[in-house]
Every structure is written in structure tokens, then in C-alpha cells.
Structure 1
Amino acid sequence: MHGAQNLSEFSMLMCGLLLLIPLLGIWYLKLGMVKSMLISTIRMIVQLVLVGFFLEFVFQLNNWLLNSVWFLTMITVAVLSVIKNSNLRLKHFLFPVLFSFILANFFVVLYFNYFIVNLNFILDAKYMIAIGGMILGNSLRANIVGLGDFYKSICKDEQLYFYKLSLGATRFEALRSFAKKSFTAAMSPTIASMATMGIVSLPGMMTGQILGGSVPLIAIKYQIAIMIAILASTIISISLSIIFTVGKSFNKYGVLLKSVIADK
């Protein structure tokens, strides 16, 4: 099997024309998103082109320190996005969430590379950055939902939380139902998509493998492995994020600090 067909400049121009369909739809429906979509599209193109050149250099050099630093940079950007989109205060959440993501994602990626792919060099750039990016991207989306929902639910049902404390529950016992609801909201989309993979959709990992020349059965093995890795990373990162941030988000009386929620 051959690799993916190269896309010419004309092909990319045709791709750009395809963008007119959502832009015209948004303009016609007066959704007010034309500017934001154009800005996001331009940012995506510029970032991907720059990263593409940079990754060629990283893959050629394949230095363990550079690979680790770049993956740490990816994690840091993801954490900033999680905190911002969860409407939480950066000063309260940056270091606890960053530490949670580092532990969860480095552990899962290194485990994946050593035990599943059986690499001799577990910090190999091609696997660490590509696999790590897929795991981190899905974990990011789930954490935005999970972490944001957890603290918003506490603010919304603060009286229920105080009632549980008044009955003698510890802080973690009183927060258990909020955490359960947040985990369900964060994990449900991934679990639902897993249930229809192969029938409703061909996921990105599998599609990329096939376009790259792999036989379908090998692509399927990688897709199964990456989805399980995503689940593991997501559950670990959300758990650690909640555990590590709770200590800084409540006062000594168990009351949630109002300063943890960012002003809209």
C-alpha cells in the first residue's frame, strides 16, 4: 500500500473554497461568528505550518530532552486552555492542573510506547509527540467539561454541599456527588463515540494509519490502543485535577472561595 496522496496548491485552494459554505451559512443565519471563524482558521493554518517545519527538525534530531520539552510545552498550552475555557482563575488552578496533566499524560504515553508499541527508545519523537498529541487533545476536551462542571455545580448547589457537611460528612464525602456528575459529563462523549466506531465513523488514528499505507488490521489495533490510552489519561487527569485543586479552592471552614471562578 502507498502513502497518502500529496495535496497540491490547487487542492488547498479548493479546500479554501469549501470553507465558503460554513461562512455563508453563518453570515446568512446572522450567528455573529464569521470573524471568529476566520481568525480561528487563520490561526490554525499558521500554527500548523510552523509546527510542521518544527516537527521535521524534531523528528530528524530525535533528542530525548527536546522531545520531552516539546511535549511539556504541549501540556502547558493544553492546561491554559482547560482553565480558561472552564471559566476558572489561573492563579488558583495553574500549578495543580499542570502537575495533574504532567503525571497523567507522561505516564500514559511512556506506558504506551514501552508496553504497547514496544519501543526501545520510549521518548522517540514520532511516537511521543504524535501519540501524546492525540491523547492530550482528547483529555483536554474532557477536562474542560469535567473540571468546569465540578466547580460550577458546587456554586449552583452550595446549600446541598453545606447540608452534607452539617450532617457530619467530610469535605471529600460532601463533594463526591459533584465529582460523580462531573466525571459522567466528561467521559460520556468519549464512551458514546467508542460505541459507534467502525460503523458510524472511522476515527482519526485509524484513518491516518490507512492513508499512511498501513493495512486496516494494523490501523485497527492502533485505534483500539489509542482509545484505551485516551480513557486512562482522561480519568487520571480529571481525578488528579480535582484532588489537587480542592485543597486550594476551599477555606479552612470548607467554604468554596469565590475567587476561584473567573469573571465573565
Structure 2
Amino acid sequence: MFLAGVYLQFIFRWNNVFINILWLMIMVTAATITVLRSTNLNIRKLFLSIFCSFLITVIAVLVYFNWVVIGLEVIFDSRYVIVIGGMLLGNSLRGSIVGLNSIYQQLKKSESCYLYCLAGGATKFEALMPYLQDSLKFALMPTIASMATIGLVHLPGMMTGQILGGSNPMVAVKYQITIMIAIFTVTSLNVVLTFLFSIYASFNRYGVIKKGIWKNH
């Protein structure tokens, strides 16, 4: 944390758009590696798929949040890109791990059922749809549970920081609601995009999952 404070001082002082975007990509890279290691999936085969899904969803939501919600003139301002981007990545990380792990573990355990659906005439997407639906449900459960208990069980970081900084509690609540919606959006979009992008790396042309997808398979 001390080192984080040191390098953030320099990044905030420079506030260069290219450096800010580069740092965001480093954050996305770290998140991607964390997800793959936590799900025991092959990093070399799935890194690009998950990296692209994280990058697309975070940048899309970040641009909307900074431009439309906050109304920044410089969308990639370092204080907002790194802080808000870090909140989106950090809070969606658990959901992404749960969602991705759910898809591939279910496929690993019930591969025969998946192949049976293919043999029965289902397309690859039709056979995979139940796995995607279950993974989305599992991925979003922590975020939904957290959203349901805000203000009653706990006060989230952004809301607490704003209140301690002297902001009106209602203003802090509005920002926190916006952040929770953004986290929910990033998590759900990331699971779907990861699923779609990884299909090409995970399955052969016959729709059969490749054995090298798992590290220890």
C-alpha cells in the first residue's frame, strides 16, 4: 500500500492521458491473471479473451460514468480513471471469478450432457446457454446481496469516504448507487463477453471443448 501511494503521487502529478490508459491496461492485466489463476484455467490459451472482455467492459462503463454521470471534460483524468477503474475492477473481480469458474467447472463435470445436446442437433450456443445462465446467476449473487444490504449492514468505501470528507449523505448515496450499478454492469457484461470470446479458444471446430483449457487436465 505504501508503494501504491508513492507511484500514484507521480501518476496524479503527471496526469497524462496515455500514461493513465497504460496504467489502466496494467490493472486489467493483473485482474486477468488473477481470474485465470483462481479458476485454474490455462493462462496462455485464455488470457487474450479475458483481457479483452475486461478492457472493453471497464472502458465502456468508465467512459459513460466519467462523461455522462460526472460530466468530466477530460474523460481519462488520472484521479477518476485509476480510482473509479480500480473500484470497478476490484469489485467485479469476485463475480468474474465465480462466473467463469462456474461455466468451465460445469462443462468439466457434465461434458457428456453437453455432447449429448450437440448429438441431438443443438448448436454449440444452444448447448452452452444453460451454463451461461447459471454462471451469470452465481456471478451476480454477491453484488446483488451487497446492493440489498447497503446502508443497513454496511457503508461502502465511496459512500464512507464522501461522508467523512464532509459531503451531504444524500449526495454520497447517489454516487454509491451509481457505482453499484456500474459494478453490476461490468460484472454481467464481463461474464457474457468472456464466455463469447473464450468460445473460440476453448472449443474445436466440432464444438468439443479442448482438453488443454485446464492447467491440470
The counterpart of 1:148, out of the listed 86, 91, 101, is 101
Question: How big is the shift at 1:145?
Answer: 0.6
Question: How big is the shift at 1:192?
Answer: 1.2
Aligned pairs, number = 217
Q: How does 1:138-177 map to 2 (within 5 A)?
A: 138-177=91-130
Question: How big is the shift at 1:193?
Answer: 1.2
Question: How big is the shift at 1:260?
Answer: 0.3
Q: Which residue of 2 aligns with 1:20?
A: none
CA distance in 1, matches of 2:43, 2:53: 15
Q: Which has the larger radius of gyration?
A: 1
CA distance in 2, matches of 1:159, 1:192: 33
CA distance in 1, matches of 2:178, 2:134: 27
For normalisation by structure 2, the TM-score amounts to: 0.97
The Cα offsets for residues 171-230 of structure 1, whole Å up to 9 and x where unpaired, read as 010000011111111101110111111111111111111122222111111100100111
Give yes or no for contact 2:124–2:207 (8 Å, CA) kept in 1. yes
Question: Structure 1 regions of 5+ residues with no counterpart?
Answer: 1-47
Does structure 1 residue 107 correspond to structure 2 residue 60?
yes
Q: Which residue of 2 aligns with 1:235?
A: 188
The Cα offsets for residues 4-59 of structure 1, whole Å up to 9 and x where unpaired, read as xxxxxxxxxxxxxxxxxxxxxxxxxxxxxxxxxxxxxxxxxxxx111111111111
Q: How does 1:69-148 map to 2 (within 5 A)?
A: 69-148=22-101
What is the RMSD computed on CA atoms of the aligned residues? 1.1
CA distance in 1, matches of 2:193, 2:180: 20
Give yes or no for contact 2:40–2:214 (8 Å, CA) kept in 1. yes
Does structure 1 residue 204 correspond to structure 2 residue 157?
yes
Question: How big is the shift at 1:160?
Answer: 1.1
